[in-house]
Structure 1
Amino acid sequence: MRRRTFLTGSLGVVAAAGVATATGSAAGTGPVITVGSKQFTESWVMGELYAQILRTRGFDVVLKSNVGSADLIDRALRNGQIDLYPEYTGVVLQTFAMPKHMPTTARDTYVAAKKFEAGRGISLLPPTPFQNRNAVAVRTADARKHGLKTVGDLKKLGKISYAEYPDNITGPLGFDAIVKAYGLHDMKVRPLNIGLQYPALKNGDVDAADVFTTDPQLRRYEFTILDDDQAIFGFQNVSPVVRTSLVEEYGERLTEPLNAVDELLTEEAMQALNEAAAMMRLSPAKVADRFLRANKLI
């Protein structure tokens, strides 16, 4: 696989640093660019990836992590408090544009999100290969035994229990929506906080679980992701959202390095990066540095 290396060399354990509200860049004389990220591991890592590669291209970068929810970080971008951040294409539509009907492909989701953002003076750069979206997982042994390939195939199991995090039971991507879309009326919900669904599924306490497709636990356990053939979970590739005025001012000097990073971020690569930060306790800055060096981007 072309340049999709994760880490090379020894993996010394580094205590995870608390993610600061703002991390200054190394001294520089280039244009100042402020990169933001949200309040979770994947966003912290991607913020570091963007910040570090832009520094090597001569920008004086300020990194603001933990800016907040989608609403808050979007407001910070539009108010000029940050210049760019990583966002999920489906979130742009579901949270901000709110169309009557969601697109049915990843490409159409990106195109619709890009068009919406352009109307607000924001540019959406090309998306990552990976998506981080909700999905339904089962134990691989059960998938093989019962021929489970799609979410609808769960009917073959009869009465089953489904792990769902409490905030998502009644949401448009949650338990109630799955039951309705797939007719799974014999499936009962078991509320579990995010992260607890993995040991519950592994140990047989539940038969299926709501997971996120870039969670590092999916690398460690024998689980199978069922195909969401009704496309209720939408499409969630990541694109840098950048104030258009900056794209016009700096052109490829700004966009090329961001695109170079994003084209390497497959689902497998993102799971590995998340695993290093969330489970191996490397700081997001160290994880980003090792990935960029391993792929000869810095």
Structure 2
Amino acid sequence: MVKLRILGRSLGLGLLLSSCGGDPLPLKVGGKQSPEEQVVAELVAGLAEASGIPVQRRIGLGGSRLSLEALKRGEIDIYPEQTGTGLALLGLAETSSTDEAPPMALLRERYAPLGLAWSAPLGFESRPGLAMLHERARALAIDTYTDLANPANRVAIAVDQAFRARPVDGLNPLRRRYGMAFEEVVEIPTRDGSKSYDYLLDGRVDVALVHSSDAQVDVFDLKVLEDDLGFFPRYDAALLYRQAALERFPALGPMLERLDGAISNESMQALSRRVSVRGEDPGAVARSELIRLGLIEGEDRRRDRQALSLAVSLSANADGEAGTVLRQLRRSFPASNVNLVRSADPLGAVLEGNVRLALVSAPAFFAPGSVDPATGLPPLRGGLEAVALIGTSFLHAFSLDASITRVTDARSIATGSAGSSGFRAAQTLIDGLQLDAELVPVEGDTPAALAAALIRSGADLALLMQPVGNSTALTLLQRGLPLLPVENWGQRNNRIVFPYLQPAQLSADHYGRFVARGNGIKGELPGLPKPINTLATQLVLAGPATVGEMRLSTQGPGSSFVPRALPLTDQAVERINAATGQVEEIYPVLPQAPALAPRLPQPPASLNASPAASLLALSAVLLLGWLAFLLLRPLREPMA
């Protein structure tokens, strides 16, 4: 028994001594909860593992205060932090955000007594900011934080809990600095910070807290307001770590040097987009970036994302319906690269296979100038179908000559490029009113350039078919060009031959929310002093028409191979319509995607069984009868 005790103690002592050999404790890599923080933490963890350092991941701990406390207690060894936040955590604040270099010397001096150190900046900045939708900011004439503080602008703002609680660079210090008074503050859990974008896009709030490294700022084409008083300092990303970790892991120092300036602002936005928009795993995203940077060896196996480009006219607002549709598509198809492409002929771009979708008004589907005997309508452009209803476009007929006071007086009409909705609407107008006028198509790379080209065209009339708020139309209105009414459209048989153009009224009230406050207009536009009669039509998304049963999804095997003019699947069409949320149906005269056709209820199942089933049932009945006979028949008495 004594020998067994001695042997047991010897084994225990041996195990204890063996456990003390080397350093069994791993490098504990921490990280906060945003996609950017998770990716950077995974970059550190992946590079450390490749450098032979054992790693324990503690990513997603919480906000900056919690992460710093965990670092001081040794619960983590390293985590990503921003320089501006590092100062704020100590109760310090920089005096200006215009400094070209981050305050690394000050940070290292103040954190050294805590046993903590800062790496060199990683190369990108994640500065907080306030963002709005372009159309909302334009309606309220807001470009700067000072504009936001205007008492007339009672707006709602969405911020995360951490920002609201920060005493140095948070919401309350910001409000005091600018004298802001928000109508409502919507507080979002820090872990769900991306919901602020949902609230902003859905109109739940007017302003949202964003960060310069967030992918959603560019994805959703948001307007970042100017911090004109320089409230926010620089927020360069770096790594905050324990000095003791360098002693435990000598390879950590050279590893940190390899990350010095390795990640640009553009790279960080792309990485953040893969996580926050496309839903990829932060670890996989970080690994592919380390491979791309040449910091580790391996093969990046991710496949290219399917493109779902949207063509719009040269005069379309990037911050109007086009921007809204772009955001809806990106939210509905996070696995696809959804891009905006300006085109002189958006439907032509679809037919050529250069884009998958086009945003056009209904007249773009037709080729006026003749009537198809089979339909009684102008000929349709083949190979196209309407996918979803987006809104309404109005015909804007501007007089470019003071002597032209009626549309019927015009002898020349300037429009957008041939093939555009405006060009084809002008053709329809000439046919419907039997005008003796020629078309003068012009082009401009931007809405403002198109407005200038229309004015310089020398035509009597400029015609646009665009939604209310279009920048080109607004520019012409604010220059005082009068809008002319379109009268007598219901005469003859125009409602039969051209059913895609319907009588409507247009007034200054339609443009009220697009006219900036305080500009002296006060709800009236020089070119639209009173309501006028005009024409309206549907604004739709269009795609290539169905060919047989071959249809293309935006995801799945083979989605990276896109044959020319292949239509969307029914599922993709349904997702687009769910995102747009329109109740009105598309004009029956427009060719439509099969998914939009009414679905008849399934007929009830037939009550008449097949012959085989009937025979089987009869056999079962006979079998049951025979068994009953066997059970119920009287037993015969045995013979003596």
Could you tell me which of 242, 255, 258 is aligned with 1:257? Answer: 255
Match for residue 86 of structure 1 among 80, 85, 93 = 80
Residue correspondence of structure 1 range 62-211 to structure 2 within 5 A: 62-95=56-89, 97-99=90-92, 101-105=93-97, 107=101, 109-141=103-135, 149-154=143-148, 158-165=152-159, 167=161, 168-169=163-164, 171-172=166-167, 173-185=169-181, 187-191=182-186, 193=188, 194-211=193-210
1:90–1:113 contact (8 Å) kept in structure 2: no
Letter in 2 for 1:231: G
User: Does the 8 Å contact 1:125/1:255 carry over to 2?
Assistant: no
Q: Deviations over 1:84-110 (max 9, x none)?
A: 221222222222x223x5453564543
2:265 is matched with which residue: 267, 272, 279? 267
Q: Deviations over 1:198-254 (max 9, x none)?
A: 244335554432222222211311112122132323332222122223436766x42
Greater shift, 283-292 or 137-146, is seen at: 137-146
Tell me how far apart the structure 1 counterparts of residues 209 and 63 of structure 2 sit (CA, whole Å). Answer: 21
- Correspondent of 2:283 among 282, 285, 289: 285
Q: 2:45 matched to which residue of 1? A: 51
Instruction: Determine the C-alpha separation between the residues in 2 that align with 1:75 and 1:249.
Output: 20
Deviation of 1:70 (Å) = 3.1
2-side partners of 1:33 and 1:71: how far apart? 20
CA shift, 1:292, in A, is 1.0
Aligned letter for 1:294? Answer: R
Give the aligned partner of residue 297 of structure 1: 295
State the one-letter code of the partner of 1:189: E
- The DSSP-based 3-state class of the residue aligned with 1:119 is helix
- 2:240 match: secondary structure: strand
Which 5+ residue runs of structure 2 have no aligned equivalent? 1-22, 297-640
Cα distance, 1:124 vs structure 2? 0.6
- Tell me how far apart the structure 1 counterparts of residues 172 and 292 of structure 2 sit (CA, whole Å): 43
Q: Does 1:225 align with 2:224?
A: yes
Structure 1 166/223 Cα, relative in aligned 2: closer, same or farther at 3 Å? closer
Q: With structure 1 as the length reference, what TM-score do the two structures score?
A: 0.74
My pick for the range that moved more, 103-112 or 275-284, is: 103-112
Structure 1 residues 205 and 89: CA distance shift in structure 2, 3 A: same
Deviates more, 1:121-130 or 1:255-264: 255-264
| Distance in 2 (alpha carbons) for counterparts of 1:153 and 1:176 | 17
Bigger RCO (CA 8 Å, 6+ sep)? 1
Change (3 A) 1:228 1:200: same
Which deviates more, 132-141 or 112-121? 132-141
Contact 1:201 1:209 in 2 (8 A): yes
Q: What is the alpha-carbon distance in structure 1 between the residues aligned to residue 208 and residue 64 of structure 2?
A: 25
Are the aligned partners of 2:213 and 2:268 in contact in 1 as well (CA < 8 Å)?
yes
For residues 82 and 115 of structure 1, do their structure 2 counterparts lie closer, same or farther at Cα, with a shift above 3 Å needed? same
SS in 2 for 1:123: strand
Secondary structure in structure 1 of the residue aligned to 2:183: strand
Corresponding position: 1:36 with 2:35: no
After the TM superposition, which parts of structure 1 deviate over 6 Å for at least 4 consecutive aligned residues? 144-147
By how many angstroms is 1:154 displaced?
Answer: 3.5
Using the TM superposition, give the Cα deviation of residue 135 of structure 1 relative to its aligned residue in structure 2, in angstroms: 0.5
Using the alignment, how far apart are the partners of 1:47 and 1:254 within structure 2? Answer: 14
On the 8 A contact 2:158/2:205 being kept in 1, the answer is no
Which residue number in structure 1 is paired with residue 617 of structure 2? none
Does structure 1 conserve the Cα–Cα contact (< 8 Å) formed by 2:124 and 2:237? yes
Structure 1 residue identity aligned to 2:104: Y
The answer as to whether partners of 2:96 and 2:232 remain within 8 angstroms in 1 is no
Q: Which amino acid aligns with 2:159?
A: Y
- Residues 120-129 or 229-238, more deviating: 229-238
Per-residue CA distance 1:253-277 (angstroms, 9 max, x = gap): 4233334335132333222222222
Give 1:117 shift: 1.3
Matched pairs, number: 266
Structure 1: give runs of 5+ residues left out of the alignment. 1-28
Instruction: State which drifts further: 120-129 or 29-38.
Output: 29-38
After superposition, the Cα gap between the structure-2 partners of 1:287 and 1:30, relative to the gap in structure 1 and judged at 3 Å, is farther
| 1:289 Cα offset (Å) | 0.7
Distance 1:32 1:215 in 2: 31
> 1:280 deviation in Å?
1.7
Query: 1: distance between equivalents of 2:148 and 2:65?
Result: 35
By percentage of residues, which structure has more helix?
A: 1
Distance across 2 between alignment mates of 1:160 and 1:266: 37
Q: CA RMSD in A?
A: 3.3
Inter-CA distance 90–156: structure 2 relative to 1 (3 Å threshold): closer
